[in-house]
Amino acid sequence: MSSIQLKLDKIWNHTDPPSKPDVFANINETKTCIGNTESKSSSFAIPAARWRPNQRPFVLPPPAINSNATSSMRTIQLIDPMITPMPTTSTSSLKHFQSAQNLFSIGKRMPEVEVALTQLVANMEKCPRPEQELPQPLSLRNVTLHGYQRHALAWMEWRESNPPFGGILADDMGLGKTVTTIAFLQLRMNSIKSESTEQIFDASKVRAIPTTLVICPATLMSHWETEITKFSRMRCFIYHGSSRKKDIPTGGAIRAFGQYCVVLTSYELVRAEYTSSDECKNPLFAVKWQRVVLDEAHRIRSHKSQTSQACTAIDAIYRWGLTGTPIHNKADDFYSLLHFLHYSPFDVYSTWKLFSSNQYKSIERMKTIVRSLILRRTKTDYDLNGKLLVPLPSKQIEDIWLRLSDEEMKHYQRIRIEMTDAYKLFIRNRREKKKTNTVVLFTLMLKLRQACNHLSLVKDLSTDDVFDDKDDVALELSMFKLDLSDTLNDKSIQSLAKDTELQYDIAFMSTKLDCLLKKIDMIVNQREEKCIVVSSWVGMLNIVRHHLKRNLIHSLTISGEIKISDRQAVVQAFNSNEKKYMVLLLSLKAGGEGLNLVGGNHLFLCELSYNPQNEQQACDRIYRIGQRKNVHIYRLMVKNTIEERISNLQERKLKLAGDVLAGCVDKFSLKLEDIAYLCS
């Protein structure tokens, strides 16, 4: 039997220890050897030209002999799917034959997939073991890396030596992905200084500049700059704002960017420059980067969006994604990451759909890809000594179920009836193949959620409200071809808004607001601890701020209304030891990602999101490295309303995220029966 077949059997028959029942599979499960992990980066392979399914099939070249490799390294051969070793037990026999059948069942249809998987499994031979670490770079300062972070350095170095020359660092939120990445960039910069450009860059392509481009949410650019300056000696430059091009002379992007180690920019700016074909108007696309890093990489989860296409079009040798929530809504979220990584042939959507379809029993194949490209550790994982990776205080999540008052329920039921009628009309038109006006149905679902918070929100129809929720719901129907003008002109919506405007304003004390204020008053005045209030709607934050001011409680706000340049100062003021600002009002969209808010240890979620990953992102703003107090999360929900149904749908989405990362590919979508469930 061939050695590579033994490796396949070893990988797929591997089981997790019973003490760690984590559904997230990661590369740590592969028990193979990397040889000498301290070898110089000059041995790194150079990415070759991308290979497409319609090109002539190729054969992998024989692996180079590494003098530093251990004696356990064996010659890698192509897999013959017709030859299978005979296991010793019936159970392992069944498992092995299923694995072989699953891996090569589409080999005749898609030979390029078989070749890619063969290369992937061969590369996993050199994957570093969990105990293998790289030493902390000497130029890294003011921080001591944890063991799992030093292992990540070895894993990232291994990934940059094998196609697709990058990967996904998917550690749980708060485990220090930013610091790990900075350490790796410093490590690679130290290697570049001792190498010639001919050794680093492919001579057949345009010469790349020795600079890493970091694309992150606009809110986090200042955070990245602060961390880079604090922990390393690398020069960084923020490329953002209306005056950004003044520093970039016409045609001089290579010289302007090449003098820095790291260039920081935002997703919005990358998308804006992607639409321009003039080199002086899109400097980001005029150069070839050494490396591109996407922070909060789930931002590109929709592969059809301009943001995803723009990030994928960035020309770079190495490509990385950082995200604590790789899967949000559906299995195709993972395809978007493969597309960004340029992982041929899986970055072709038709190939990916055939490869990941349940028709061909692709669970084992998905596991192989996930384990190879994703490194994920969670806060509940243990190190080799049986200790938690990071000793954090306890975290308690409390679901607070409330009931609307009779007055609130009267208006809620009115909106519900309107929504039910809109849904019935939608179904009838769909069956009769007539034009369906789904915008009213969706808007009423939004207003139903807002009525659970505060009735004054119902009268204010905001474009941001509608389209923020659109991204979260991700209905795979024509429902999201919305026209806001149709909503504004709809008589039922106008009637609801007019009625609530006459009876309710910001001073109205709703059931949920009353509970929130009482909790905050007890925490701030009795425990003297800081709180964070999270909401999807700026209108709700304004209402809370109004009532806190009446109660003589000072608060800070991070939302879309706050300038990006001022947000880091707000974070520092809240995290300080001063007791002046005890409450931070946080917009889920503007501040739900990447921020470090360990100054507070109580967090309130004012409403449920269709996407539970957004809530997890917000909760981990306070539950992360640096938190010294016990953390309390409060989810405010209303019984017998749409929020109770959304809670049930959240459980399905959380299961989906675990299944995909574990290799399962069952797709989640909000089907008609789900909409009917929400509208009932």
pLDDT at residue 84, as a whole number:
28
pLDDT at residue 318, as a whole number:
97
Alpha-carbon distance values, 512 to 76, 409, 427, 431, 650 (Å): 63, 13, 33, 39, 21
Cα–chain-centroid distance for residue 453?
Answer: 28
CATH of the domain at 8: 3.40.50.10810
Is 275 found in the same domain as 249? yes
Q: How many domains does the chain have?
A: 3
Give the position of tokens 């597309």.
339
Residue 246 lies in a domain: yes
Q: How far apart are CA 24 and CA 660, in angstroms?
A: 9
Instruction: Tell me the two tokens of residue 51.
Output: 């290979």
Instruction: Tell me the two tokens of residue 453.
Output: 């918070």
Is 260 found in the same domain as 155? yes
Among 112-126, 338-352, 628-642, which stretch is predicted with the lowest mean pLDDT? Answer: 112-126
Is 469 found in the same domain as 321? no
Residue 527 lies in a domain: yes
Residue 385 lies in a domain: no
Q: What is the pTM of this model?
A: 0.69
Q: Final residue of a domain: which of 438, 470, 503?
A: 503
Is 188 found in the same domain as 70? yes
3-class secondary-structure state, position 294? strand
Is 517 found in the same domain as 477? no
pLDDT at residue 297, as a whole number:
93
Q: How far apart are CA 213 and CA 222, in angstroms?
A: 15
> What range defines the domain where residue 498 resides?
405-503
Q: Across all residues in the chain, what is the average pLDDT?
A: 75
Q: Final residue of a domain: which of 483, 503, 523?
A: 503
Q: How confident is the model at residue 360 (pLDDT cuts 50, 70, 90)?
A: very low
| DSSP H or E segment with residue 398 | strand 395-402
Rg (Cα) of the chain, in Å, rounded?
Answer: 26
Q: Among 549, 458, 540, 541, which residue's Cα sits nearest to residue 502?
A: 458
Residue 388 lies in a domain: no
Beta carbons of 632 and 616 less than 8 angstroms apart: no
Is 79 found in the same domain as 190? yes
Give the position of tokens 């390393």.
232
Q: How far apart are CA 255 and CA 243, in angstroms?
A: 18
Residue 381 lies in a domain: no
Among 291-300, 326-335, 566-575, 628-637, which stretch is predicted with the lowest mean pLDDT? Answer: 326-335
Indicate whether 223 pLDDT > 70: yes
Phi and psi dihedrals of 98, rounded to 5? Answer: -65, -40
CATH of the domain at 565: 3.40.50.300
Edge-to-edge strand list for the sheet holding 316-322: 236-238, 262-266, 209-216, 289-295, 316-322, 166-169, 374-375
Is 420 found in the same domain as 307? no
pLDDT at residue 104, as a whole number:
43
Indicate whether 39 pLDDT > 60: no
Is 261 found in the same domain as 409? no
Q: What percentage of the chain's residues is helix, strand, coil (to nearest 5)? A: 45, 10, 40
Residue 390 lies in a domain: no
Is 187 found in the same domain as 48? yes
- What is the DSSP-derived secondary structure letter of residue 248? S
Beta carbons of 591 and 566 less than 8 angstroms apart: no
Alpha-carbon distance values, 74 to 62, 122, 158 (Å): 12, 10, 18
Q: Among 170, 129, 169, which residue's Cα sits nearest to residue 34?
A: 129
Q: How confident is the model at residue 72 (pLDDT cuts 50, 70, 90)?
A: very low
Q: How far apart are CA 217 and CA 205, in angstroms?
A: 30
Phi and psi dihedrals of 55, rounded to 5? Answer: -85, 170
Mean pLDDT of 424-448: 79
Q: Among 383, 499, 446, 480, which residue's Cα sits nearest to residue 608?
A: 446
- Kind of pairing between the strands at 209-216 and 236-238: unpaired
Among 18-22, 360-364, 559-563, which stretch is predicted with the lowest mean pLDDT? Answer: 18-22
Beta bridge partner(s), residue 557: 585
Instruction: Tell me the two tokens of residue 180.
Output: 């790990």
Is 139 found in the same domain as 22? yes
Is 28 found in the same domain as 97? yes
Is 515 found in the same domain as 491? no
Instruction: Tell me the two tokens of residue 291.
Output: 């490396």
Question: How many C-beta neighbours within 10 Å does residue 546 have?
Answer: 13
Q: How far apart are CA 190 and CA 184, in angstroms?
A: 10
| DSSP H or E segment with residue 546 | helix 538-550
Mean pLDDT of 585-598: 85
Residue 382 lies in a domain: no
Instruction: Tell me the two tokens of residue 353.
Output: 């759909």
Residue 426 lies in a domain: yes
Q: Among 453, 604, 605, 459, which residue's Cα sits nearest to residue 540?
A: 453
